[in-house]
Amino acid sequence: MGDQIRRTDNGEVMLGCSHTLPLHDAIDQYVDARVPIGGFLTALLENNLVETFGRADSTNESMLREYVEHVYWCVPSTCWGSPEKVQAWLRGEGMAS
């Protein structure tokens, strides 16, 4: 998964996500196939810091900085940023990446 090609909202190709996260696959499935995600990732993608910390297990809590970097740099902004955007994405709205 480290060599996946992604495109930004502007259509630029993003290469080489180097983040190695326990829930990386779950995030990929959410982005690529709009698969619903668990409470921790939902809070993360909703940009809800307090809930993200509250729902993280110890492993994920210790990696929150990398999660945030991954979402910021590697996940198309149409897929995350607010509860409304996450719900819209799961309903199939918004541009495909």
Nearer to Zn ion, 63 or 74 (CB): 74
17 binding Zn ion? (CB under 5 A)? yes
If the CB atoms of residues 17 and 37 are measured against Zn ion, the closer one turns out to be 17
Is residue 27 involved in binding Zn ion (CB under 5 A)? Answer: no
Q: Write the DSSP assignment of 31-85 as a string of letters.
A: HHH-----HHHHHHHTT-HHHHHHH--HHHHHTHHHHHHHHHHHS-GGG-SSHHH
19 sits near Zn ion (criterion: CB under 5 A): yes
Nearer to Zn ion, 54 or 74 (CB): 74
Three-state DSSP class for residue 7: strand
> Which of 37, 44, 74, 79 touches Zn ion (CB under 5 A)?
74
Return the amino acid letter for 9. Answer: D
